[in-house]
């Protein structure tokens, strides 16, 4: 117990919270999360503390009154990294996510965690924009609140644009981040309200001027696949460079999940990673959309592939990878990437070493030449990376749940490693020549049959099923690509 005397609050108004018990545990937890924080007094009944300069008192008064989301502590964050850190810490060990940035922590205290930029949007000089932002904020972000609604038909396609009737749409991890308001670029690229979805396949039903004579000539009736925000809808207008013809042997279902994930995989493995015949390539998140394609692309260039999966007990994912015939070993990297434990060998038997030790066994002590990481395992991957010029291409943090790993740069130096960050979307906008190179390379692999589509077995029919598909994605049930089969019989144009 503190021996410091209770301090009279420096302001006339400060916060007092009624707890049944555990006031000191809560105070210790809160001061660990914020700068300029300390406990100034505590005894069996009362604890007074400061977080970020704000004095708060907790009274352990028994079960007479309950905390409620009707009153919350409001945190204005500087950026997505701070939002992710606080959101993860405050919802841990029994906390609950609520809508529009609210959460309830394990002690029952409600918090609202928002980016400072959201306040700017709410106060936009354009009152109509500000109103839409406020309305969208109050209706989001809990996945259980996702629903389809009727929106106007898209405008007619302009020059070098096409109107596509969507047959199938595919899920991506980025959809989950956008839906939860957790994407690191959500405030710059997406402002509410917006339609979710990125990947799709369908039929061109109208074209704008110049599209038939452009570098990517297309016609009404062409079967196409592509990537553009707003794909969880029945129709979408897209630019000609964002869509491509579906290979003749592929169905709409096959092609729906190709445009975003396969391009990222090819860019990471071949363009940034420079994979070559005879090299060893480790692919994290190997059963996911990017991972499945990365494994196949690496194998097609003659590399040997080690697949990293969350758990070898996810037998459907393991058997899917084995069935593709593109992996030379499978290792279990653990469900919690912040605390990787004992690894597994490629046969599924528990081993006594970490998963990095298993990778070294599979590669006969050589280590891997290239790591494709869309999970967030850079620090661990350095242990099994070939010394001198081994590469790690970082394409995402799907396994970190907002908690970014800390990597000591001296470890990179000692390993003489090359660590590369890769964002296909940004590259696509800034370097069209590289995008063309990626698509040409992909087209050759598709034509040769080296890339096979992998579609999750559960069928999600209609936009009403997007919510269930997103929940399955969040629960890590899905392998390959989950496909939404858009209802083509509805006369009204619907979107999520």
Q: Which of 101-105, 189-193, 271-275, 459-463 has the lowest mean pLDDT?
A: 189-193
Distance CA 308, CA 359 (A): 9
Residue 389 has pLDDT above 50, yes or no: yes
Phi, psi (5° rounding) for residue 168?
A: -140, 150
Look at 353 and 154; give whichever has higher pLDDT.
Answer: 154
CB-count exposure of residue 347 (10 Å: 0-12, 13-18, 19+): exposed
Cβ-Cβ contacts under 8 Å for 280 (sequence gap 6 or more): 303, 304, 305, 306, 363, 366, 367, 368, 369, 370, 386
Residue 494 has pLDDT above 70, yes or no: no
Q: What is the mean pLDDT of residues 410-424?
A: 94
Strand partners, 455: 481
CATH ID of 266-335+355-400+407-428, from 3.40.50.720, 3.30.565.10, 3.30.365.10, 2.40.37.20: 3.40.50.720
| Pairing relationship of beta strands 223-227 and 199-207 according to DSSP bridges | antiparallel
Look at 424 and 10; give whichever has higher pLDDT.
Answer: 424
Beta strands in 375-482 (DSSP E): 391-394, 418-421, 460-461
Q: Which of 26-30, 149-153, 251-255 has the lowest mean pLDDT?
A: 149-153
What's 455's DSSP letter? B
CA atoms within 13 A on the CB side of 170: 33
Q: If pLDDT is split at 50, 70 and 90, which confidence band does 285 have?
A: very high
Annotation: CATH topology of 151-257+463-495:
Quinone Oxidoreductase; Chain A, domain 1 (3.90.180)
Cα distance from N-terminal residue to C-terminal residue, the chain? 53
In the predicted model, what is the mean pLDDT of the chain? 84
Q: What is the mean pLDDT of residues 169-183?
A: 81
Q: Where are the domains of the chain?
A: 1-66, 151-257+463-495, 266-335+355-400+407-428
Q: What is the mean pLDDT of residues 390-406?
A: 78
- pLDDT value at residue 137: 59
Q: If pLDDT is split at 50, 70 and 90, which confidence band does 352 have?
A: very low
Residue 134 has pLDDT above 50, yes or no: yes
Q: What is the mean pLDDT of residues 103-130?
A: 80
CATH 3.90.600.10 fits 1-66, yes or no: no
């Amino acid at each position: 117990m503190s021996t410091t005397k209770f301090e009279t609050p420096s302001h006339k108004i400060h916060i007092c919270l009624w707890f049944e018990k555990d006031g000191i545990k809560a105070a210790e937890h809160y001061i660990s999360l914020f700068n300029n924080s300390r406990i100034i007094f505590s005894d069996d009944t009362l604890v007074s503390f400061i977080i970020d300069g704000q004095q708060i008192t907790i009274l352990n008064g028994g079960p007479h009154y309950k905390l409620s989301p009707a009153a919350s502590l409001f945190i204005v964050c500087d950026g997505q990294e701070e939002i992710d850190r606080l959101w993860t810490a405050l919802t841990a060990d029994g906390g609950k996510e609520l809508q529009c940035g609210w959460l309830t922590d394990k002690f029952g205290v409600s918090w609202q965690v928002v980016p400072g930029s959201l306040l700017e949007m709410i106060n936009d000089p354009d009152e109509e924009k500000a109103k839409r932002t406020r309305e969208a904020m109050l209706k989001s972000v809990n996945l259980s609140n996702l629903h389809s609604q009727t929106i106007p038909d898209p405008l007619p396609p302009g020059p070098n644009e096409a109107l596509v009737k969507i047959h199938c749409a595919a899920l991506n991890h980025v959809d989950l981040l956008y839906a939860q308001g957790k994407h690191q670029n959500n405030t710059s690229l997406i402002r509410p309200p917006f339609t979710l979805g990125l990947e799709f396949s369908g039929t061109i039903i109208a074209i704008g001027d110049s599209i038939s004579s452009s570098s990517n000539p297309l016609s009404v009736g062409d079967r196409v696949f592509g990537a553009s925000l707003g794909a969880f809808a029945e129709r979408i207008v897209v630019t000609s460079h964002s869509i491509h013809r579906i290979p003749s042997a592929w169905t709409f279902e096959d092609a729906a999940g190709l445009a975003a994930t396969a391009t990222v995989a090819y860019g990471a493995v071949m363009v940034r990673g420079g994979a070559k015949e005879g090299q060893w390539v480790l692919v994290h998140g190997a059963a996911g959309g990017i991972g499945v394609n990365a494994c196949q692309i690496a194998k097609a260039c003659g590399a040997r592939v080690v697949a990293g999966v969350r758990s070898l007990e996810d037998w459907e994912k393991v058997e899917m990878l084995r069935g593709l015939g593109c992996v030379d070993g499978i290792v279990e990297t653990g469900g919690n990437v912040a605390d990787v434990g004992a690894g597994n060998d490629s046969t599924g038997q528990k081993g006594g070493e970490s998963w990095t030790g298993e990778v070294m066994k599979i590669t006969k002590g050589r280590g891997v030449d290239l790591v494709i990481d869309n999970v967030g395992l850079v620090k661990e991957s350095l242990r099994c990376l070939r010394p001198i010029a081994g590469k790690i291409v970082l394409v995402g943090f799907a396994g970190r749940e907002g908690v970014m790993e800390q990597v000591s740069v001296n470890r990179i130096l000692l390993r003489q490693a090359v660590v590369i960050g890769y964002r296909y979307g940004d590259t696509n906008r800034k370097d069209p020549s590289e995008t063309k190179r990626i698509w040409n390379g992909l087209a050759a692999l598709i034509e040769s049959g080296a890339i096979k589509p992998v579609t999750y077995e559960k069928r999600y029919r209609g936009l009403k099923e997007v919510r269930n598909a997103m929940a399955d994605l969040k629960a890590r049930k899905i392998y390959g690509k989950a496909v939404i089969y858009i209802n083509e019989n509805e006369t009204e144009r619907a979107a999520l």
